[in-house]
């Protein structure tokens, strides 16, 4: 890549790492001391002065940075804050050319999780394998920053071991592996490894709790001409449930395609034509169609007719069994002015089944978190009020107790279970995170409870991510403060924004509350 133009000044590095992980902290400290010795400037979040707002300072420093040094260990790769910092750096680099990202793997050779892999897997990295390696790696970082380029010499990427099955959060689980930290989002890339029927890789986790959604939706997906809607806020296990629907379809020898709208680039979402052309090309690639969608895009038809023609002629016409098209986080399209046209098109696929038998071979699964009625005014053009609807709820008390048993019962008494539910509730990710931490650190629940709100505690990355998200909007902050203090939110928009993000629960803005005691206590201190 061409060098970063810094003029006469020396390069500035932002160091991203996991606070409570070793040797991550030790390596970060080494770099903080090393780089200034060569005239280079560093920033690490411990340098934020008391009284400065942490999210604002972090984003400002990322914008100032010429390089992002990211320390990737097994624990940091599951850190929501590390993932978020890399995401911001990746976005900034796409628009301004910097910061250059210098990944350092810390005794970690496995595939990166979904949220990191798409941004980092093609970038050359350095591997820290043991004490002393930081000296060589530090020298290479100095050389890269002085020459204003990324790591120069290629380093062959290791090939991760093939997993035997997948955990509830998408972690690959290999034979003899130890308990792994839960990932904040499901890694849908593993779905490409699922073979049907009876493949070697299965969605078969000891930590997955089946819910009503799993049973009923699995029965529906075996039929033809089905539309399934799955609504749930962030980290309710929605994507894990969709992955099991995908596996169910493959077991039935149906074609299945999983599209996560959160992974689409801005260019692909720029307008209706670019989105529909991307969708056509994605289907063609996933299903290995005989014809390319390009021939339809050379015609004078409108983009909706082009996609319809491609799906009917080159996808559905060659299928004997239904195609299961799973579209996750589809409500991302709500942010764009063509949303009514797009969702009207999806609704038309549902309606076409009544007049054209070919379209009964398209089973639709739509997953979303935002309240659709606020954004689609003409309900006759909405796909969110047809078919079968399901809600991905938090776990019940009995389900949390089952998970506790599956982790070896780190919660020893009924009283501890009561305190745990008051703190965490049934939040699927936080329940797994807390139980993992209790087992991994071999600590009693009282120890976890005592440090739950600490900036270097077991939930710090998760809470900081949300604090950052709230700081991006005055309306969000005001809405969250009102939910904590008054049990209500001033506007429908504010309520649905918080609920879809997973911060509050409730059926209306007049009656809502923080999703768990942890959120109430942490944000009450800061808002």
Number of domains, the chain: 4
Statement to judge: residues 257 and 305 lie in one domain: yes
Statement to judge: residues 410 and 290 lie in one domain: no
Statement to judge: residues 246 and 355 lie in one domain: yes
Please give the backbone phi and psi of residue 308, each rounded to the nearest 5 degrees, phi first.
-60, -45
Residue 428 lies in domain: 397-450
Statement to judge: residues 422 and 375 lie in one domain: no
Statement to judge: residues 252 and 339 lie in one domain: yes
410, 427, 450 - which closes a domain: 450
Q: Could you give the 3-state DSSP secondary structure of residue 105?
A: strand
Residue 161 domain-assigned?
Answer: no
Statement to judge: residues 232 and 260 lie in one domain: yes
Statement to judge: residues 507 and 477 lie in one domain: yes
Please give the backbone phi and psi of residue 391, each rounded to the nearest 5 degrees, phi first.
-120, 125
Residue 1 domain-assigned?
Answer: no
Residue 247's pLDDT is 85
Exposure of 8 by Cβ count < 10 A (0-12 exposed, 13-18 middle, 19+ buried)?
exposed
- Give 3-state DSSP helix, strand, coil % of the chain, rounded to 5: 50, 15, 40
Contact 407, 435 (CB under 8 A): yes
- What stretch of H or E contains 309? helix 303-310
Residue 159's pLDDT is 46
Q: What is the CATH number of the domain that holds 272?
A: 3.40.50.300
375, 391, 407 - which closes a domain: 391
Residue of 465, 454, 466, 503 whose CA lies nearest to 483? 503
Statement to judge: residues 61 and 120 lie in one domain: yes
Statement to judge: residues 373 and 497 lie in one domain: no
Residue 502 domain-assigned?
Answer: yes
Q: Using alpha carbons only, how large is the chain's radius of gyration in Å?
A: 24
Statement to judge: residues 110 and 185 lie in one domain: no
Residue 481 domain-assigned?
Answer: yes
Q: What is the CATH number of the domain that holds 473?
A: 1.10.10
Statement to judge: residues 332 and 203 lie in one domain: yes
Statement to judge: residues 62 and 141 lie in one domain: yes
Residue 124 domain-assigned?
Answer: yes
Contact 505, 499 (CB under 8 A): yes
Tens of pLDDT along the chain (527 residues)?
555 555 556 899 999 999 888 999 999 999 999 999 999 999 998 877 655 677 788 888 999 999 999 999 988 988 889 999 999 999 899 889 899 999 999 998 877 877 787 788 788 899 999 999 999 999 999 999 998 888 866 554 444 455 555 555 556 555 555 677 787 777 776 666 655 444 444 566 677 788 888 889 889 998 999 999 999 888 888 888 888 888 889 888 899 999 999 888 889 999 999 999 999 999 999 999 988 999 999 999 999 999 999 999 999 999 989 999 999 999 899 889 999 999 999 999 999 999 999 999 999 999 998 877 767 778 888 999 999 999 888 999 999 999 999 899 999 999 999 999 999 999 999 999 999 999 988 889 999 999 999 888 889 889 999 999 998 899 999 999 999 999 999 998 899 899 989 999 998 889 999 999 999 999 998 88
Task: Write b or e for each residue in 28-49: b if 16 or more Cβ atoms lie within 10 A of its Cβ, otherwise e.
Answer: bbebbebbeeeebbbbbbeeee
Three-state SS string over 24-35 comes to HHHHHHHHHHHH
Residue 251's pLDDT is 85
Residue 86 domain-assigned?
Answer: yes
Model pTM?
A: 0.84
Q: What is the CATH number of the domain that holds 113?
A: 3.40.50.10140
Contact 240, 220 (CB under 8 A): no
147, 178, 195 - which closes a domain: 147
Residue of 392, 442, 367, 504 whose CA lies nearest to 168? 392
**Cα–Cα distance, 173 to 328 (Å, whole number):** 24
Residue 107's pLDDT is 93
Residue 152 domain-assigned?
Answer: no
**Cα–Cα distance, 2 to 501 (Å, whole number):** 39
Residue 160 domain-assigned?
Answer: no
Q: How far is CA 347 from CA 5, 295, 344, 387, in A?
A: 50, 25, 5, 10
Exposure of 266 by Cβ count < 10 A (0-12 exposed, 13-18 middle, 19+ buried)?
exposed
């Amino acid at each position: 890549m061409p060098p970063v133009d810094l003029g006469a000044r020396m390069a500035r590095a932002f160091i991203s790492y996991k606070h409570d992980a070793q040797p991550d902290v030790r390596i970060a400290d080494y770099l903080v001391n090393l780089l200034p010795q060569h005239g280079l400037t560093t920033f690490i979040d411990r340098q934020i002065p008391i009284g400065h707002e942490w999210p604002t300072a972090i984003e400002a420093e990322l914008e100032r940075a010429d390089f992002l040094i990211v320390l990737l260990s097994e624990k940091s790769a599951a850190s929501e804050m590390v993932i978020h910092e890399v995401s911001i750096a990746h976005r900034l680099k796409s628009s301004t050319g910097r910061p250059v990202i210098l990944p350092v793997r810390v005794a970690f050779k496995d595939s990166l999780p979904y949220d990191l892999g798409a941004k980092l897997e093609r970038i050359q990295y350095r591997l820290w394998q043991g004490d002393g390696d930081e000296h060589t790696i530090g020298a290479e970082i100095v050389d890269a920053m002085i020459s204003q380029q990324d790591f120069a010499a290629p380093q062959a990427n290791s090939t991760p071991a093939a997993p035997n099955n997948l955990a509830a959060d998408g972690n690959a689980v290999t034979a003899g592996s130890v308990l792994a930290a839960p990932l904040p989002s499901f890694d849908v890339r593993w779905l490409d490894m699922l073979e049907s029927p009876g493949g070697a890789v299965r969605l078969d986790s000891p930590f997955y709790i089946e819910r009503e959604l799993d049973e009923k939706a699995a029965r529906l997906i075996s039929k033809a001409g089905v539309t399934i809607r799955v609504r749930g806020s962030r980290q309710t296990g929605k994507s894990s449930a969709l992955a099991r629907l995908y596996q169910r379809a493959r077991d039935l020898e149906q074609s299945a395609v999983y599209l996560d709208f959160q992974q689409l680039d801005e260019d692909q979402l720029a307008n209706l034509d670019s989105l529909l052309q991307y969708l056509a090309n994605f289907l063609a690639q996933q299903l290995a169609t005989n014809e390319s969608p390009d021939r339809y895009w050379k015609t004078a038809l409108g983009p909706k007719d082009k996609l319809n023609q491609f799906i009917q002629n080159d996808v559905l016409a060659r299928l004997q069994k239904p195609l299961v098209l799973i579209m996750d986080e589809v409500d991302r399209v709500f942010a764009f002015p063509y949303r009514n046209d797009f969702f009207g098109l999806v609704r038309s696929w549902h309606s076409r089944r009544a007049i054209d038998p070919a379209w009964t071979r398209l089973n639709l699964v739509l997953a979303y978190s935002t309240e659709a009625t606020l954004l689609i005014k003409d309900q006759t053009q909405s796909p969110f009020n047809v078919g079968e609807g399901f809600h991905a709820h938090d776990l019940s008390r009995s389900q949390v107790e089952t998970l506790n048993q599956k982790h070896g019962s780190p919660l020893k008494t009924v009283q501890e279970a009561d305190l745990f539910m008051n703190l965490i509730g049934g939040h699927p990710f936080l329940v797994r995170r807390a139980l993992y931490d209790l087992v991994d650190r071999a600590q009693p629940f009282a120890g976890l409870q005592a440090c739950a709100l600490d900036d270097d505690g077991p939930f710090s990355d998760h809470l900081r991510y949300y604090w950052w998200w709230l700081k991006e909007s005055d309306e969000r902050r005001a809405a969250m403060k009102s939910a904590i203090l008054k049990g209500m939110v001033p506007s429908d928009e504010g309520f649905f924004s918080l609920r879809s993000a997973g911060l509050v629960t409730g059926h209306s803005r007049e009656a809502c509350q923080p999703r768990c005691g942890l959120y109430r206590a942490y944000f009450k201190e800061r808002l």
